[in-house]
Structure formats: structure tokens, C-alpha cells
Structure 1
């Protein structure tokens, strides 16, 4: 089963969900804010695609992180930050099993499902 991880009200998430729905791709949606994020699942993602790819440094959540934390971020501190604030994880994360796709790009989704 394909799982799409993210936050319901995110504009990029809305685009990804609309694309998947229009393409008639069956998937399960997991909302970090509503459904939570387990440390075990995050640890899998830290292996693939990795903490640096997962960490969204462009969003408002990142800008709210104290400067000293941002300047000294590493895998351990990023992990804790993601567990405490799942909104800081880049979205959407499309879990295809062996492959994880971060962000939404219609052309990439087309190549995956058509």
C-alpha cells in the first residue's frame, strides 16, 4: 500500500493528493498532526531518504527554531526536532515501500504511476 505522509492543510499536500486522486492511485494518507509520528518510522526515514533531505529549511517552522539550534543541527538534533515538530519535515513524503519520494512534482508522479 502506498502511503502519503504530510499535513492536511499544506498547499503542496493538496496538490499531491489531488494528483493521486485524479490519476486514480490508491493510497493511504497519514497526517502528522492528527495521526502522530512514531520514532520508529522516523528512524526508517533517517536511513532513507536521510535527515538532511527530510528537514524542511524553507518553512515557517524552521524559521521559528532558535538560531543556535539551526547553526548546530546534526542528525541527532534534527531527529529530536522532527519528533517534537513534525511540521518541519519536508512534504509530502510518498512512501512506495522501497522508494521514498519527497516533495511534489507532477512530472515525477506521472513517471512513477503511468
Structure 2
């Protein structure tokens, strides 16, 4: 973490597992690619891209869901055109749970495709044994 806090000491390649603070793509984009994240462990690329920052900030303040999602799609295209990261693999996880009294949305086929959010507690039901 100390090395990536300065562009002069940041390694050329690092592995970064970053997750959104809540199940919303904008949260992940902010902590991963916004200039505010540059001196942190979550962004070793040091993008410092004013246009990208403005796009992220604008999308996060867009209340209309469909309009916000459209902005996220534009952001994804912009980021992929920059090619700041190598998306080399997905982390595969296996989990056991008690289906008799736990209603786990992920096991029922509803997936939030952001790392770590398959355990979003507000969406897990417990009915008792």
C-alpha cells in the first residue's frame, strides 16, 4: 500500500481486488477509476483523467435509473478504450448454506455481479429451522 501511494514508487503491475460499497456499478467505478482513488491501493494506474472523473461524478448524481445505467455503459466503453487494466480472471467461490431455512437470493439464481455482493445481507432471508 505504501508503494502505490506515490506514482514514483508504484509497481508496473499489481493485483487488485476491489468491490463496491453497495450493489451499484457507480460505487465500484468511483473507488476504482476516479482520480480520488489514485493515491490509494485501489488504483495503481494513476489515471488522473478529468473527463473520466466528470463522467463518474455525473453518473452518480443521476437519479433516473435507466439514464444512470446508460451513463454507466458509456463509462465502461470509455474505460475499455483507455485500457488501464488487464481483466485476466474472475474469482470463483463456492459456499455452503442451509436451504431449509435460509433464503439466499444467489442460490436462487439472482446474482449481483459485483465481487462480494452475493452476501448482501439485506437480501438474505432466514425463516428458522
TM-score, length basis structure 2: 0.26
Which structure has the higher relative contact order (CA within 8 Å, separation 6+)?
1
Structure in which a larger fraction of residues adopt helix? 1
Question: Of the two, which has the highest radius of gyration?
Answer: 2
More strand by share: 1
TM-score of the superposed pair, with normalisation by structure 1: 0.28
